[in-house]
Homo-oligomer: A and B are copies of this chain.
């Protein structure tokens, strides 16, 4: 959950791209370093404003290919805005293990991926077959709770 646990050097980002047969371009390295530096998911608007010299279309394509490769996952917040977060090590190509809890802070709008939370299996009505669960919680994050 903390930044240090995910901190990576440029070399490690390059390795990551190589591992997924992706060319090491400046734009991709910057997207990776921005997302790894945070412990929350990054919204599409945030990505765009910080990486504003990267073409918007390029950004979409980078995010899409990262998602396909299982490097990041997309999560919609409670307003339907796309947010992107680095996948935990359990994620694999085309099959994300994003069955963790997504916490939406109603104050700072942060989206936290709480990987450590395990939630129990949920029984579905007859006939329904689930291949994945995602739990969204909304409320105040640790930081915003203190300030209230």
Contacts and interface: CB of A to CB of B under 8 A. Distances in A.
A1 interface: yes
Contacts of A54: none
B135 A139 contact: no
Interface in A96-148: 101, 103, 106, 112, 114, 116-117, 119-120, 122-143, 145-146
A76 interface: yes
Contact of A126 (B76, B119, B129, B142): B142
Copies of this protein in the complex:
2
A141 B117 contact: no
Contacts of A1: 125
Contacts of A114: 124-125, 128
Contacts of A129: 139-140, 145
Contact of A134 (B131, B132, B135, B146): B135
Contact of A123 (B103, B117, B128, B142): B117
